[in-house]
């Protein structure tokens, strides 16, 4: 008997990415640079978040040609983004052979009430979360991997730090609760009780948790690893920098050796300018991607 799309197969795929960097790319050439630099996967997009932000309007699933060209160019896994709640975009990406789907707040949501029932898919999903309740709701719907939302396309790490700190501290809290406190906590968090029980038993989320949304430098990547991330997504940071190849390699190394400060110092030398950053307080409420989804 052979079973595809089981929890172990879907979550296991994300386990293999641990300690690695997943990079946003918009064409085959960038995908090759990412693979060459040691990325564990790439995210195929039409535009990186910083450009989506600049362009405004409605951001949708990328043209399938981009996904196909990137899949053709590299042997590492290829991920792609679907709009929150857009069942058909997700099914199309699955049919095209994407290895992982990001139901992502970077794109304009298709549904402001419901997220996709991800348990029904053979392909695994990653979803963004700002806190434990949100993470567990997504896992409850079938997400096989979680990432912080951060604030995509800003090059500002502060929101990703806030979200990772929040999730970690809530995990510690739940792990130390007595069993009779868990149902009330489930109510307060808006999270499935069974998943809280799982955290109490294992002291961690049942899926891997990556950092995303605002990582711009090797030090940013290492900071997120120190805060307990299993790995890092870098969106606009790499291909918006002056020297993408060098930058990509530096971020990969800083993620592996996140506690070797002399090394990170060396890696950070002569990298040229990082992407230009945005102060979060200058964003209008409508420009905050992290508030999309619930």
81 catalytic residue (yes or no): yes
Q: Which of 10, 18, 32, 81 is catalytic?
A: 81
Query: Is there binding between residue 262 and other proteins (CB under 8 A)?
Result: no
71, 52, 235, 207: CA torsion to nearest 10: -80
- Give whichever of 220 and 253 is closer to other proteins, judged by the CB atom: 253
- Distance of alpha carbon 49 from alpha carbon 37, whole angstroms: 21
The region of 35-43, 148-156, 183-191, 209-217 touching other proteins under the rule CB under 8 A is 35-43
The region of 81-89, 92-100, 132-140, 236-244 touching other proteins under the rule CB under 8 A is 92-100
Please report how close the Cβ of residue 203 comes to other proteins at its closest, in angstroms: 12
Out of 39, 80, 107, 189, point to the residue binding other proteins (CB under 8 A). 39
Out of 17, 104, 236, 290, point to the residue binding other proteins (CB under 8 A). 17
Selection from 4, 33, 38 nearest residue 19 by Cα: 38
Contact in structure between 221 and 214 (CB atoms under 8 Å)? no
Query: Is there binding between residue 247 and other proteins (CB under 8 A)?
Result: no
Please report how close the Cβ of residue 230 comes to other proteins at its closest, in angstroms: 10
Q: Quick count: other Cβ atoms within 10 Å of Cβ 255?
A: 24
φ/ψ of 102, rounded to 5, equals -100, 110
Please report how close the Cβ of residue 263 comes to other proteins at its closest, in angstroms: 10
Q: Quick count: other Cβ atoms within 10 Å of Cβ 89?
A: 22
Sign of the alpha-carbon torsion through 91, 95, 98, 100: positive
Cα distances (Å, whole numbers) of residue 130 to 31, 99, 168, 169: 28, 24, 11, 12
Query: Is there binding between residue 51 and other proteins (CB under 8 A)?
Result: no
Please report how close the Cβ of residue 271 comes to other proteins at its closest, in angstroms: 17
- Distance of alpha carbon 257 from alpha carbon 187, whole angstroms: 39
Out of 191, 252, 254, 267, point to the residue binding other proteins (CB under 8 A). 252
| Coil, helix or strand at residue 127 | strand
- Maximum Cα interatomic distance, the chain, rounded to a whole number of Å: 56
- Give whichever of 8 and 173 is closer to other proteins, judged by the CB atom: 8
- Distance of alpha carbon 171 from alpha carbon 199, whole angstroms: 7
Binding residues for other proteins, total number by CB under 8 A: 35
| Coil, helix or strand at residue 248 | helix
- Give whichever of 82 and 189 is closer to other proteins, judged by the CB atom: 82
Q: Which of residues 166-225 bind other proteins (CB under 8 A)?
A: none
- Distance of alpha carbon 14 from alpha carbon 35, whole angstroms: 17
Please report how close the Cβ of residue 257 comes to other proteins at its closest, in angstroms: 8
- Give whichever of 77 and 155 is closer to other proteins, judged by the CB atom: 77
Q: Which parts of this chain interact with other proteins (CB under 8 A)?
A: 1-6, 8-9, 12-13, 15-20, 35, 38-41, 71, 75-77, 94, 97, 99-100, 122-124, 252-253, 256
Catalytic residues: 81
């Amino acid at each position: 008997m052979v079973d595809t799309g089981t929890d172990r197969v879907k979550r296991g795929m994300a386990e293999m990415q641990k300690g690695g960097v997943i990079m946003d790319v918009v064409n085959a050439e960038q995908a090759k640079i990412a693979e060459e630099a040691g990325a564990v996967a790439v995210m195929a997009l039409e535009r990186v978040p910083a450009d989506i932000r600049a362009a405004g309007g409605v951001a949708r699933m990328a043209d399938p040609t981009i996904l196909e060209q990137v899949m053709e160019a590299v042997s590492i896994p290829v991920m792609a983004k679907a709009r929150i709640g857009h069942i058909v975009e997700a099914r199309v990406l699955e049919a095209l052979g994407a290895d992982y789907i990001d139901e992502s707040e970077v794109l304009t949501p298709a549904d402001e009430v419901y997220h996709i029932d991800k348990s029904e898919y053979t392909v695994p999903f990653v979803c963004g979360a700002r806190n434990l309740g949100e993470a567990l709701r997504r896992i409850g719907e079938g997400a096989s991997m979680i990432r912080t939302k951060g604030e995509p396309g800003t090059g500002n790490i502060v929101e990703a730090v806030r979200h990772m700190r929040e999730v970690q501290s809530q995990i510690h809290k739940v792990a130390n609760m007595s069993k009779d406190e868990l149902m009330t906590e489930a109510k307060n968090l808006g999270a499935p009780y069974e998943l809280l029980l799982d955290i109490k038993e294992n002291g961690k989320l049942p899926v891997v948790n990556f950092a995303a949304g605002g990582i711009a430098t090797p030090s940013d990547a290492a900071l997120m690893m120190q805060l307990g991330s299993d790995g890092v997504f870098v969106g606009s940071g790499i291909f918006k920098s002056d020297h993408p190849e060098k930058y990509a390699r530096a971020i990969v190394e800083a993620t592996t050796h996140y506690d070797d400060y002399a090394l990170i110092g060396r890696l950070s030398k002569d990298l040229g300018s990082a992407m230009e950053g945005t102060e979060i307080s200058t964003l209008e409420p409508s420009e905050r991607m992290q508030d999309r989804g619930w």
